[in-house]
Amino acid sequence: MELIKDIDRMRTYIERIEEGKIIGFVPTMGGLHKGHLSLIRKGRGDSDVLVVSIFVNPAQFGPEEDFESYPQDLERDVKLCKQEDVDVVFAPSREEMYPDDYFTFVEVEGYLTSTLEGDSRPGHFRGVTTILTKLFNIVSPDRSYFGEKDYQQVLVVKKLVNELNLDTQIIVLPIVRENDGLALSSRNSYFDEKEREAATILYKSLKKAKEWTIGGEKDPARIIHKMKELIEKEPLAEIDYIAIVGPNSMEKVQSIEGEVLIILAVKIGKVRLIDNMRVKRSMCQS
Ligand code: AMP
């Protein structure tokens, strides 16, 4: 396995790959966990050459967010990638990706990037789409792997790739969870024992919402209200948003028919977590 830290070397590596070989790509911010590993394993199985990038992207963090403290351990991540038979870890420096005189950004405009995460984290998706455009240009992947954990991000990335005619296929994989349901996240490493326990409230509330929906509740407002009540019982939790939306549009639904996405962001202590669950009411339910 190669660890490549500069863009020119990464490009040269890609240029030397034989025509027709499939390049798979897993972009990450490091702090690798089982969620990342599921993408890496799928990518490994599908590709001739698998590239994993590790770059904590300052452009997608707000000024009050945790960029400075974001968990980083390149040595550990590289070791994990080696074990997963990754071909290249691309870990560029901040200076390489964003030199001091850097002024070019790529933005998906409109509702999709201004609702939910876009509303809570202004500029976040602009940072995501900018870094991904740069990485796609450097790595030229045939296939790129993303997790449903960042559900809205997946829709934004698909739109970016489609509308800018970028030549990579977006493969989306399900959320990997701990045994108690907590979605794996690099940020889980911030938790003390109490917070870690409290963090299970996101999954618990999603599961309950699914039960209520399948039980026949069609009114999103009532489900959201009951989720709020449940989460508010947890003293360490502070709700940012809870929404029930169309799984492709991210627009709030008036009534639950067919498939919807229940999505939420909750702070546990200082740590902001996101999670989601797709719920399908079978058409034969009244
Ligand atoms: P990050 O390092 O947080 O930027 O995540 C890199 C990729 O891993 C993104 O496509 C995430 O959606 C995906 N990912 C993160 N956590 C999980 C998880 N628990 N299950 C599946 N995919 C995940």
Task: Output the domain CATH number for residue 259.
Answer: 3.30.1300.10
What letter does residue 111 receive in the DSSP assignment? H
Q: 147 CA to middle of ligand 1, Å?
A: 5
**187: Cβ below 6 Å to ligand 1?**
no
**146: Cβ below 6 Å to ligand 1?**
yes
Pair 206, 91 in one domain: no
| Sign of the CA dihedral running 67, 73, 78, 80 | negative
pLDDT at 12 over 80: yes
Strands 23-28 and 49-54 come out as: parallel
Measured CA to CA, the distance from residue 134 to residue 98 in angstroms comes to 10
Q: How do residues 22-79 score in pLDDT, each as one tens digit? A: 999 999 999 999 999 999 999 999 999 999 999 999 999 999 999 999 999 999 999 9
pLDDT-derived band of residue 116, with 50, 70 and 90 as boundaries?
very high
What letter does residue 70 receive in the DSSP assignment? -
Q: Could you tell me the residue range of the domain that residue 63 belongs to?
A: 2-173
Average pLDDT, the chain: 97
**Location of structure tokens 């549009």:** 249
Q: 124 CA to middle of ligand 1, Å?
A: 16
Q: How do residues 246-279 score in pLDDT, each as one tens digit? A: 999 999 999 999 999 999 999 999 999 999 999 9
**Is 225 marked active-site?**
no
Count of structural domains, the chain: 2
Mean pLDDT of 187-213: 98
pLDDT at 286 over 80: no
Q: What is the pLDDT of residue 285?
A: 54
Q: What is the pLDDT of residue 282?
A: 73
State the catalytic residue, choosing from 4, 14, 26, 36: 36
Hey, whose CA ends up nearest to atom 17 of ligand 1?
Answer: 35
Pair 196, 270 in one domain: yes
Pair 191, 227 in one domain: yes
Strands 143-147 and 23-28 come out as: parallel
**273: Cβ below 6 Å to ligand 1?**
no
Q: Read off the tokens for 188.
A: 């889980």
In a domain, 38, yes or no: yes
pLDDT at 284 over 60: no
Q: Which helix (H) or strand (E) holds 160?
A: helix 151-163
Q: What is the pLDDT of residue 283?
A: 52
**Location of structure tokens 């040269």:** 12
Q: How do residues 66-86 score in pLDDT, each as one tens digit? A: 999 999 999 999 999 999 999
Q: What is the pLDDT of residue 281?
A: 81
Pair 163, 73 in one domain: yes
Pair 74, 139 in one domain: yes
Probe residue for ligand 1, chosen from 150, 171, 185, 186 as the CB with the greatest number of ligand atoms within 8 Å: 150
pLDDT at 145 over 70: yes
In a domain, 181, yes or no: no
Mean pLDDT of 110-115: 98
Q: Read off the tokens for 116.
A: 């939910």
**36: Cβ below 6 Å to ligand 1?**
yes
Measured CA to CA, the distance from residue 67 to residue 124 in angstroms comes to 12
Last residue of a domain, one of 150, 173, 196: 173
Probe residue for ligand 1, chosen from 28, 61, 272 as the CB with the greatest number of ligand atoms within 8 Å: 28
**39: Cβ below 6 Å to ligand 1?**
yes
Q: Which amino acid is at 82?
A: K
Which residues are documented as binding site for (R)-pantoate?
60, 153
For 264, list phi and psi in degrees, rounded to 5.
-150, 160
